[in-house]
Structure 1
C-alpha cells in the first residue's frame, strides 16, 4: 500500500508519497515539487500527498499504470473513497453516516485532478483527456475577466464532486467568555492576573481578529503595533523560519484590534518581563509573543500541538464547550459575527486574509442568506404593507 512520508529538509518539513515497493512515486513527486515551487504550505502538501497516496494505492492494487487510465477509473476511485474502501487505515473520513465526508472526498479527488492537470501541461497524453474545454453559453453567468478566456474557453475537469454545503461551526458569546475566564482572571485586590494569561490572550486574539492559529502563534513582538494615539493593529507577515513550521497562509496583512485586547497584550508583556524575558532575550522585537514559560526551552515559541493539548484540558473542564471545538472555530465565529453585523463581504474577506472574495462567499454565504430570509418570517407584517400601499 502506498503511504505518505514526512521529509525534513533544511528549509522545513514537507511530504512525499512512497509506493508499495518503498520507492518514491516519481510522477507524484514531480507534481509535489511543482507545488513546493509555488510556495504551497506544508499542510497543503500533506493534504495533497494523502490524496495521491490513496490514488497510488488504488492503481497498485489494480496493477494499472498511472498514465493509462480514464474517466471510468477515476469514477471507481471516487466511489471507493465514498465507501472508505481504498485504504481504511489511511482515510478515517466517516462523518457518522457510515460513509466518507463529501468535503474530504472532494479534497482527495481534487489532489488527483491537480496531479493530472499538471501532467497534461507537460504533454502527457492521457492526462489531457481528463480535461475538456468549456466555453460560456449565452445567458450563463460570466465570472470576472471571462473575456480573457472567451476565445479559447476554459479548461475544466471532466470529474466533478458535488459537496453538500454545511454551516460552519461557531461558538456562542457565553462559551467564549467561559473559556477566557477559565484561563485567567483579574484579581482586583492584588491588581494581578491569576491563571494562564498567555492562553487568555491567545483565545481573545483569535476571537477578535479571526486569525488562523498558525498566524497567531507565529506573531513576534514587532508585529504588534500598540495603539499610541491610533488604533492598535497586528501585522500578519509571511515568514518561513518558524521552528515548528507554522506560517501565514495568505501573506502580509494588517488587522486592527480594540483597546481592551491591546491592554491585555501589554499585561502579557509585563508578565514576560517579570519572568525575566527582557534579560534573557537578545532581541525583544524578534521574539515570539506566545512562548514557553515552564516547559521546554524558556521563551521559545509554543507548538501548535501544545495548544490543542491545552484546549483538550479546557474542554474537559467546561462541559458547555462543544467537544469537537478547535481553534479554527474562532475564525468561523469572527467572520459570522461580522457578517451578521452587516459588515460587507469584501471587508470580511480582507480581514480574514482570503486570496479571493469568492472563498469568503462560498464559506459564509449561508450567513447573509439566513439574515435576509429571516426578514421574510413575519408574514403578517409583509401583507399589512401591501394593504397600506393599496390604500394610499
Structure 2
C-alpha cells in the first residue's frame, strides 16, 4: 500500500511539472543562449535524447556509435556522501537511443574539445574513464555542477532579456520537453517510453496523460484529412 501511494505521488508530481514545461521555442532560445558555455553539449544532448542526468554523466565514448547515430545508456552516476557512485539505470536495463544528425555533430565537437583539453593540460590530465562529459582536467563532471548551472543560465538570460523571460525550470525538465514534443508530434507512447527508459509504457501514459489527450483532440480531423473528406 505504501509503495502504491509513493508511486501515485511521484506520478502526480511529475505530471504537475510537465504542465509547466517549456515550449519548443523557449528551449531553442535557451540552447542558443547557453551555447558559449563548455557544458552546452551536455544540455543539448539532454534535451535531444531525454536521458537522465546521471545516465549522461555515466556515458562513455565506448557507448557512443557516431557512425551508427546512436548511443547505449548502460548505467547511471551519482554522488553519495562525497563519493562518486556508479550503478545501473533506474529500470535496471540498458537501452539504445537514436541520435539526430545535429547531435552527432555536437558530440564530434565534444570529442575534439576533449582532445584539445588533454593536449593543453598535458601530464596533469586526469581523464582515464573514457567519459563523454568531463571537466577541463579530464575528470567526470559532478552532477551538482550541471544541475546548478541550469538556473544560473536562465537567470542570466532573463536579466539580459527582461521583456521575454524564460519560465523557471530545472535540468530534469529538459526530459519533459523531449517527451512532450515527441508525443505531440504523434510518436507512439511505447516508443517514447523506450526512449525515456520507462520500465513500462503505462508510466509514460500516466505522467503525460494530459499531453496524450491534447494530441487525441485532433485525431478526428487528421483521420478525415487522410481519407480526403
| Bucket of the pairwise TM-score, normalised by the shorter protein | 0.7 to 0.9
Residue 246 of structure 1: how far off its partner (Å): 5.5
Residue 262 of structure 1: how far off its partner (Å): 0.9
Describe how 1:170-319 pairs up with structure 2 within 5 A. 170-184=21-35, 195-196=36-37, 198-227=38-67, 230=68, 232-238=69-75, 244-245=84-85, 247=87, 248-250=89-91, 251-276=93-118, 286-293=129-136, 298-319=137-158
Contact 2:78-2:143 within 8 A present in 1 as well:
no
User: Which residue number corresponds to residue 177 of structure 2?
Assistant: 333
SS of corresponding position for 2:97: strand
Going by fraction, where is helix more abundant, 1 or 2?
A: 2
Where does the alignment leave 5 or more consecutive residues of structure 2 unmatched? 159-164
**Greater relative contact order (CA < 8 Å, ≥ 6 in sequence):** 2
Q: Where has structure 1 moved over 3 Å in runs of 4 or more?
A: 160-167, 239-243, 277-284, 374-377
User: Which residue number corresponds to residue 349 of structure 1?
Assistant: 193
Q: What TM-score, normalized to structure 1? A: 0.47
Q: What TM-score, normalized to structure 2? A: 0.77
Where does the alignment leave 5 or more consecutive residues of structure 1 unmatched? 1-109, 115-155, 185-194, 383-388
Distance in 2 separating the partners of 1:329 and 1:309: 13
Distance in 2 separating the partners of 1:343 and 1:255: 15
Q: What are the Cα deviations for residues 94-126 of structure 1, in whole angstroms up to 9, with x where unaligned?
A: xxxxxxxxxxxxxxxx6xx24xxxxxxxxxxxx
Contact 1:277-1:299 within 8 A present in 2 as well:
no
Aligned residues: 205
Describe how 1:1-392 pairs up with structure 2 within 5 A. 113-114=2-3, 166=16, 168=18, 169-184=20-35, 195-196=36-37, 198-227=38-67, 230=68, 232-238=69-75, 244-245=84-85, 247=87, 248-250=89-91, 251-276=93-118, 286-293=129-136, 298-319=137-158, 320-323=165-168, 325-374=169-218
Residue 301 of structure 1: how far off its partner (Å): 0.9
Contact 1:218-1:288 within 8 A present in 2 as well:
yes
Contact 2:49-2:97 within 8 A present in 1 as well:
yes
- Which structure would you say has the larger Rg? 1
Residue 316 of structure 1: how far off its partner (Å): 1.0
Distance in 2 separating the partners of 1:253 and 1:201: 21
Distance in 2 separating the partners of 1:317 and 1:200: 15
